[in-house]
Amino acid sequence: MNTGIDVPQIQRFGALYIASARLKSMSKWKAIIAAVDIGNPLFYLIAVGIGIGVLVEQGSGTSGTNGIKYIAFIAPALLASTAITGVMDETVFPTIEGFKWRKLFFAQNATPITGRQIAIGVYLAAICRAIFSVSIYYILLLAFNVVDFGVSALLVPVAIFGGAAFGAVILFAAAKIEKDDQFFNILGRLVIMPMFLFSGTFFPLSSMPIYLQPIGWVSPLWHATELGREAAYDYGISNVMVIVHLIFLSTLVAAGIVLAMRQFERRLAK
Amino acid sequence: MSKPLISVRGLTKVFGDFTAVDGIDFDVAKGESFGLLGPNGAGKSTTMRILAATSTRTSGTVEILDKDPEKFGPLVRAHLGVVPQQDNLDGELTVSENLYIYGRYFGLSKKFIKAKIEELLEFAQLEEKRDVKVEALSGGMKRRLTIARGLVSEPDILLLDEPTTGLDPQARHILWDRLFRLKEQGVTLVLTTHFMDEAEQLCDRLVVMDKGAIMAEGTPQGLIKEYSSKEVLEVRFGSDRNKEVAPQLSQMCERMETLPDRILMYTEDGEKLLEQIAAAKMHPTTSLVRRSSLEDVFLRLTGRTLIE
């Protein structure tokens, strides 16, 4: 009989054990993750900085973007969407894999680790990925002279906060999925793509007709982007709106996590 | 007798309008090797998931090491090793990484796990595969690794769900040998199987399950003695003639079962019975005398074969 098992300690730190196992799995893909996280921003910064940005500024100067250079205007959105896709990759795949493909969660749950701890562990590891991706992106923004070092560093935590908000909800959704056939198609094309296009990413939300603006209102990307612009460039949004953005994102984090923990626990106990 | 490690009373599990486990009772003593024998769908795996302190029950009581697994899941699981029916190893990690990470889930120290890995690799005969990705292992190796993983925390009870299903005969024999060693070391084993030879080899005591209920309980030899005759004569007359000759044959033995491909005749002396058949001028195309097995017990109890 093994008397060296300290159950209260596992109850305190179990989520961290899961997170560190997830990071170990991710480290097997470090070359690909690094290539994606460096390549993707490079393509954007070159295409937008040299191409689209120049075109926009020739057309209307910086009057449509509250006096901010176009590439700097979209930078907070690019960072937030990087956080969102990073967190999504590291929650959706591991969750469906854990419940369905390899059933790793069932192996983890056969130890003193609980379903709730597995949910938190997967989430924490996904946030680590977002921190990595967003930091690299921010360094490239500095290198391309898009932002000046200083207060713009606030863009990093704000973007991660946006990723965390979306990630909590998607973690719950992925745990809910029993049939994964079309899930990735629907998620990629009907959720992520419209969110990216209609969340005030490339133009202020207010320049869209009012009936399209609700897409932005419910999108964590819009809230994170607006917060980022305000934090980094004094974009000129009201304090009330800053609070609204913070409350919206916090609510998604809290609600998503609570629902995800419950869903993990239920599905493992069937 | 000391208090049992596992005590189950009136255990019932209902999924919607399907009753998977229907009011079963059993105890498992320390150091015992206990089996649940039955066909697919008998409720064995559902029972195992409840014993593993992961699945909830609909009614009844379960005590494992004096605790209700539903109320004290993590505490109970700290003392269990679980080998599920389907290997759920992390294919992207190596053999030793899988063992290491699993040990960490029990909060074990790095030093303890490192030493344990050496012992388990030897036990599972996987020393040369320690740095190989799990994806590249054969089915038998994966199975042995899953068992080794279940032992990383030195559990009091090892739960094995269909440990050799899907393995070729050689891999099964290696596995049986490993499990037999654990039994000798005094590890309490609870296993499910639909192979009667596996149950006979590994179980000190077993229950025969069908449709969620326990049909009989005892030692393999005791069950055979109680529900079957000493020997069985298997005769084949060809699929068309089997039915024709059945009425005549049934008068020659205590009990008879007519299967699609052969007739089983239960008797104390198979050779003598075969001589009688020959004397009656009936000539089976093939015949075989063997001793009774748990398969015959199951057939007697349920009217069906274990593997359908």
- The interface pTM score, or ipTM, of the predicted complex is 0.88
A10–chain B Cβ distance below 8 A for any pair: yes
Strands B157-161 and B80-83: parallel
Q: Please tell me the predicted confidence (pLDDT) of residue A2.
A: 54
CB atoms B106 and A104 under 8 Å: no
Query: What pLDDT shows up at residue B90?
Result: 93
Look at A104 and B90 and tell me if their CB atoms are within 8 Å: yes
How many Å apart are CA B11 and CA B20, to the nearest integer? 10
The upper half-sphere exposure of residue B150, i.e. CA atoms within 13 Å in the direction of its Cβ, equals 31
Binary contact (A14, B80; C-beta < 8 A):
no
Please give the full DSSP string across A206-217, using - where no structure is assigned. GGS-GGGHHHHH
**Are A113 and B105 within 8 A, CB to CB?**
yes
Over residues A124-168, the pLDDT tens digits come to 999 999 999 999 999 999 998 888 888 899 999 999 999 999 999
Q: Of B48, B139, B137, B146, which is closest to residue B102 (Cα–Cα)?
A: B146
Residue owning tokens 């562990």: A121
pLDDT band, very low/low/confident/very high, at A92 (cuts 50, 70, 90): very high
Q: Which of B:119-178 have CB within 8 Å of A?
A: 149, 153-156
Indicate if the pLDDT at residue A64 is higher than 80: no
Mean pLDDT of all residues belonging to chain A: 90
Say if residues A252 and A165 touch (Cβ distance below 8 Å): yes
**What span, in angstroms and rounded, lies between the C-alpha atoms of B86 and B143?**
9
Write the pLDDT tens digit of every residue in B66-120: 999 999 999 999 999 999 999 999 998 999 999 999 999 999 999 999 999 999 9
Q: Which of B14, B77, B96 to mutate to test the interface with A (most CBs of A within 10 A)?
A: B77
Mean pLDDT of A198-227: 88
Residue ranges for chain B with pLDDT beneath 70: 1, 306-308
- A interface mutation test: which of B83, B106, B113, B147 has the most A CBs within 10 A? B106
- Tell me the backbone φ, ψ of residue B284, rounded to 5 degrees: -65, 150
Terminal Cα-to-Cα distance of chain A (whole angstroms): 29
Give the model's pLDDT for residue B308.
56
Provide, as residue numbers in chain B, all residues whose Cβ is less than 8 Å from the Cβ of A9. 107
In chain A, % of residues over pLDDT 70: 99
DSSP-derived secondary structure for A227-268: HHHHHHH-----HHHHHHHHHHHHHHHHHHHHHHHHHHHHHH
Q: Select from B2, B68, B188, B102 the least CA-distant residue to A1.
A: B188
Q: For residue range B51-80, list pLDDT tens digits in order.
A: 999 999 999 999 999 999 999 999 999 999
The residue-averaged pLDDT of A250-258 equals 98
Residue A32 forms contact with B (CB below 8 Å):
no
Structure tokens at B95: 């053999």
DSSP for residue B238: -
pLDDT at B195: 87
CB-nearest partner of B106 from A5, A20, A109: A5
Q: Give dist(CA B26, CA B226) in Å, integer.
A: 19
Pick from A17, A25, A102: CB nearest B104 = A17
- Chain A CB contacts of B82 under 8 Å are 110
Using a CB-CB cut-off of 8 Å, the residues of chain B touching A1 are 79, 154, 156
The rounded distance, in Å, linking the Cα atoms of B46 and B307 is 19
Of the candidates B15, B94, B105, the residue with the CA atom closest to the CA atom of residue A105: B105
Residue A202 at interface with chain B, using a CB cutoff of 8 Å = no
pLDDT in tens, A180-207: 778 877 888 888 888 888 888 888 888 8
Helix (H, G, I), strand (E, B) or coil at B25: strand
Alpha carbon distance B79, B202 (integer Å): 22
Q: Is B83 an 8 Å CB contact of chain A?
A: no
- Determine the number of helices (DSSP H) and then strands (DSSP E) in chain B: 11, 13
The shortest C-alpha distance from B44 to chain A (Å) reads: 15
**Is residue A6 less than 8 Å (CB to CB) from chain B?**
yes
